[in-house]
Amino acid sequence: MALFYDLHIHSALSPCAENDMTPATIAGLCKLNGADVIALADHNSALNLPAAKAACEAYGLQLLPAIEVNTAEEIHVLCYFKTVEQALKMGEILYDHLPIYGYDEAIWGRQLVMDADDKETQCVEKLLTGAVDLDIYDIVKLCQSFGGIAVPAHADKDSYSLLSVLGFQPPDLHFDVIELAHPEKYEAYCKAGLLQPGMEVIHSSDAHSLSMLQENFMLLCSTNPLHQLLGVQTK
């Protein structure tokens, strides 16, 4: 069954996201807008996924657990998992690999870890948007070791992306799925030798505020590898 999706949404845990991007508010609005499945993908952290899972269950939405990793090369990679627990385990490892320097919320914005009732539950001491000291090859392997699927995020954007950092997709770096800001250009990117052919292309909102949440969703086909991750964590 094809599902309407938004698989790249930041909650208030991401310092660059608005504080009203709470897991419960996101789930409620996405349901209202017509989504079937959403992914909360905060920078280098899974800590708001338990609240997101509870909120999605309450609203009758499927949650695809995710993290948007910032690799050592400063390439953003979406890591998708079957379960929140797998994402949390990967998040713990990522946290250990983040640089240690003081996080000042007055400069960077707040990093809110919340429960399903939008109550703050804990503080995160490191700045989550930094680059981990693991390269993109390490991140793909780590994600796969937890049964996850790694997907280059907004791969054709002009910053923090596969193409902006590396210039093209190296022949030894394979993905089954890629997220593009301009999915209609995929064929042209392949013809130009920038990307490898044969990948499933997804496109999501990358919303950092409620107004950025989309109202027109694309369909996730049952043949998309990400579809295989769904179903375990839902009723």
Hey, how many other C-beta atoms are within 10 angstroms of the C-beta on 25? 16
Taking contact as CB under 5 A, which single stretch among the options 56-64, 83-91, 147-155, 193-201 is the one that binds Zn ion? 147-155
- β-partners of residue 218 are 5
> Which residue's Cβ lies closest to Zn ion?
76
The Cα 143–Cα 149 span in angstroms is 6
Answer yes or no whether residue 206 interacts with Zn ion by CB under 5 A. Answer: yes
Decide whether 60 or 99 has the Cβ nearer to Zn ion.
99
Min CB(75)–Zn ion separation in Å: 9
Q: Which is nearer to Zn ion, 6 or 68 (CB)?
A: 68
38, containing H or E segment: strand 37-43
Q: Where are the alpha helices (DSSP H) in 162-222?
A: 162-166, 186-191
Task: State which of residues 53, 76, 82, 227 lies at the interface with Zn ion (CB under 5 A).
Answer: 76
153 in contact with Zn ion (CB under 5 A)? yes
The answer to the question of residue 38 lying near Zn ion (CB under 5 A) is no
Binding span for Zn ion by CB under 5 A among 23-31, 70-78, 120-128, 183-191? 70-78
Q: Who contacts 180 (Cβ-Cβ below 8 Å, separation ≥6)?
A: 154, 155, 156, 186, 189, 201, 202, 203
- Is position 203 an interface residue for Zn ion (rule: CB under 5 A)? no
Interface with Zn ion includes 155 (CB under 5 A)? no
Can you tell me whether residue 222 is helix, strand or coil?
coil
Question: Closest CB to Zn ion among 153 and 162?
Answer: 153
Q: For the CB of residue 17, give the shortest distance to Zn ion in the complex, in Å.
A: 9
Contacting range for Zn ion; rule: CB under 5 A; set: 145-153, 173-181, 194-202, 216-224:
145-153
Smallest distance from Zn ion to CB 141, Å: 20
**Count of residues that interact with Zn ion, criterion CB under 5 A:** 4
- Residues contacting 174, CB < 8 A, separation 6+: 196
Please report how close the Cβ of residue 119 comes to Zn ion at its closest, in angstroms.
25
Which residues in 44-199 belong to E strands, given as ranges? 62-63, 66-70, 76-80, 113-114, 120-122, 149-152, 177-179
CA distances from 111 to 3, 10, 19, 20, 144 (A): 30, 11, 8, 12, 27
- Please state the closest distance from residue 66 (CB atom) to Zn ion, in A: 10
Asked if residue 70 lies in contact with residue 76, where contact means CB atoms within 8 angstroms, the answer is: yes
Residues that bind Zn ion (CB under 5 A): 68, 76, 153, 206
